[in-house]
Amino acid sequence: MTYRFSTHFRSTIYQVMLERGWEDAGDSQDFDFAWLNKEEISAAYTAQQSQKKYLINHYQNHQMLSRKDLLAQNVQKCWKLIAKTNPTLAEEFKTIPLTFILPENYSAFVRYAETRSDSVRVVSNGSTVGSVKRGQNVSRIPGIEKLPPRNDKTSQLADKPPQQLKRELSAPNLEKPNISRLTTNTGDKFIVKPACLLQGQGIFIATLPGIQTWYETEYQKIKAESVEMDAKIAQSMFAQYQKRGIQTTLQQIEQNFKSGHDLYLIQKYIENPLLINGHKFDCRIYVLVKSFKPLNCYICNEGFARFALKTYTSDDLSAHLTNVAIQKKADDYDSDGDGAKWGLFQLFQYIQTQFGKQKAKQCQRNVEMTVLRTLQSVANQMNQSKQSFEIYGFDVMLTSDLQVQICEVNACPSLSADTKEDELVKKRMLHDALSIEVDNKDQRVFGCFHQLFYGNVDEKDYNAGIVETGVLLGDQSNRCGTF
């Protein structure tokens, strides 16, 4: 019997499914496998209640891990809980930088930042403009470009589906990343990120005075826009529910729905990243989660180190953000070459030459454990379904002393191929992941994947279930017998 799939994607995942001999179901509702984007998940799970069961590439509440604010809440809650009984182990669960979530944590952020320095020196466009005492207001945000104006969509959008409405209302921020928003202030730096945007959009780096002014001006506009957006989306949802005969009121929807448009994270900026030839990089790590209860997860040996094209000393924000969506806009980006990427094997070979074999191996293991501790932080909160699995893209940064920090977790990592090597790695990764998930190739080592953990996450022993395979992230893969 032919395995049938449904997807709107035409990237490497589509090519891989055809290479496996699967059949595109097109508009038919008769299929065995659905590769969906995040906006389609809710409808897919609703449809499964009355239709044929099929495999879905997302967990229903994947956002517990993939939305920046929820990831921060879950990780910080977990390590604080563990710290009460096992402070040493708790350190392993500090997998993300110190994080404050706006709007509720703003006062806590200011108190923390004020304890870090009595004054900061403010520099704009390379010139000194003065010394700013803590708590002192400034007339503008030093070294940060003004946010572009947002379009005010009309109320006619209220009849559109909620997810389409949310995309259109946010469209001005999604057209292209704003890569000019960087402060060169001395003093502790913080990175500010929208919780619900991707690919470096809306991010800037600043010290306390700049963030205070942004909060008092631009952020207040964002909060007002969020209220308006939520009201329009609630109207859209209410109209959709009425069409489907679902009994509810507009007031109930307004009370329960929040778009998250005003959710921002302020994180301690990692100011000592590991540099290679003066360039900053992060690592894209692919992780397959077959289930959360029990936690059954595999990590892909192959992945990428993604480099900023400008040297780290540059004041340009693109020197500090390694997102491919940003780097592709640079004049010297070469899609016919390596696309500003190294393979993980090449990266760890370089680390070995600089730090020695033992430290390189320990770094590989530390990255794996950081990924695992992050998964364990959310495992018991995830909705479990035998019809679900997920391939996450973990973005990981190394410091100059090889400490590991998670930048974010992507539930829809890009599967588009920017270079030939990109295509090869992503197709190998997808083939092996589908073999493990769909064809039940459940060996501890298969293709470019090896198992990290199998078992329930036990608060009494988080190490019970760790799988030792002798293979580490970045090791060369043995692809004998794979698809």
Burial class (CB in 10 A: 0-12, 13-18, 19+), 323: buried
Assess whether 32 and 105 both reside in one domain.
no
Q: What is the largest CA-CA distance in the chain?
A: 73
**DSSP sequence for 154-223:** -GGGGGS-HHHHHHHHTHHHHSS--TT-B---SS--EEEEETT--TTTT-EEE-HHHHHHHHHTHHHHHH
Q: Is residue 79 part of a domain?
A: no
Assess whether 359 and 374 both reside in one domain.
yes
Q: Is residue 240 part of a domain?
A: yes
For 392, the enclosing helix (H) or strand (E) is: strand 390-398
Q: Is residue 83 part of a domain?
A: no
pLDDT at residue number 483: 59
pLDDT at residue number 147: 32
Q: Is residue 184 part of a domain?
A: yes
Assess whether 420 and 319 both reside in one domain.
yes
pLDDT at residue number 143: 35
Looking at the DSSP bridge assignments, the partners of residue 285 are 394
CA–CA distances in Å: residue 10 to residues 2, 120, 321: 20, 49, 27
pLDDT < 70 stretches in the chain:
1, 48-51, 117-186, 198-200, 244-246, 255-259, 314-316, 323-339, 479-483
Assess whether 410 and 326 both reside in one domain.
yes
Q: Is residue 179 part of a domain?
A: yes
Q: Is residue 91 part of a domain?
A: no
Assess whether 251 and 311 both reside in one domain.
no
pLDDT at residue number 329: 59
Question: How many domains in the chain?
Answer: 3
Alpha-carbon distance 456 to 438, whole Å? 22
Alpha-carbon distance 300 to 305, whole Å? 14
3-state secondary structure of 353: helix
Assess whether 152 and 43 both reside in one domain.
no
Assess whether 194 and 307 both reside in one domain.
no
Assess whether 138 and 215 both reside in one domain.
yes
Assess whether 202 and 334 both reside in one domain.
no
Alpha-carbon distance 466 to 372, whole Å? 9
Looking at the DSSP bridge assignments, the partners of residue 466 are 453
Beta-carbon contacts of 295 under 8 Å, excluding residues fewer than 6 positions away, are 289, 375, 376, 379, 453, 454, 455, 456, 457, 465
pTM of the model: 0.82
What is the domain range of residue 337?
A: 272-455
pLDDT at residue number 228: 83
Helices (H), 20-67: 41-48, 63-66
Peptide bond preceding 209: is omega within 30 degrees of 0, i.e. cis?
A: no
Out of 268, 293, 315, pick the residue that ends a domain.
268
Assess whether 192 and 316 both reside in one domain.
no
**DSSP sequence for 85-125:** T-HHHHHHT--S--EEEETTTHHHHHHHHHTT-SEEEEEET
Q: Is residue 69 part of a domain?
A: no
For 450, the enclosing helix (H) or strand (E) is: strand 449-455
Q: Is residue 442 part of a domain?
A: yes
pLDDT at residue number 398: 97
Assess whether 278 and 233 both reside in one domain.
no
pLDDT at residue number 338: 56
- The token pair at 426 is 């992503």
Alpha-carbon distance 393 to 285, whole Å? 6
Assess whether 180 and 244 both reside in one domain.
yes
